[in-house]
Amino acid sequence: MTESSPLVDGMLRIHKIITRGINVSIQKCDEYAGKKGIPPAEAKGFFMYVTTLKNVIHSHHGSEDEIVYPYLKNKIEAPYDRLEEEHNAIEGILSNLRQSLLEISSGEAGRLREVLGELNDLWKPHIRTEEENFIPEKVHAVA
């Protein structure tokens, strides 16, 4: 039996939380498109939800870049440069996400939906790479 690693457990947990946040946000945008816009009573809450998602992703990647990767770099072989490049690309998408959030006040979510789709398209393979490289057996052996 493989012992779990708090580092891997935490990474898997936050990946699931972020993935769910992206999926819910996309589903809500699709729902709003069917309703011909965001109902005014939901606009503030949706804005806060997506803003929080953006902040969580930013913080998560910051902790990986500043703490996790430097700690593991000389202990576990992984495509660190590629992962960091993907973090930079995701940061660019988060910047676009911040801009597209401004349309929520007008009841629109079309551009936001596009940006969330771009985020999702990069997010899925990115976390797959992390989760394939930072498996509990490897991390536990060096932690």
pTM above 0.75, yes or no: yes
In the chain, pLDDT over 90 holds for what percent of residues?
Answer: 74
The structure tokens listed for 61 are 């990647």
User: How far, in Å, are 1, 46, 48, 139 from residue 83 at the CA level?
Assistant: 29, 29, 28, 17
- In which band, very low, low, confident or very high, does the pLDDT at 1 lie, cut at 50, 70 and 90? very low
Q: What is the pLDDT of residues 79-133, one digit of tens each?
A: 999 999 999 999 999 999 999 998 888 888 999 999 999 999 999 999 999 999 9
Strands (E), the chain: none
pLDDT of 2 above 70: no
When pLDDT is averaged across residues 48-73 and rounded to a whole number, the result is 95
Query: In this predicted model, which residue has the larger pLDDT, 137 or 73?
Result: 73
CA dihedral 95, 122, 88, 62 (to 10 degrees): 90
Give me the helix-helix angle, 80-100 and 110-133, nearest 10°: 160
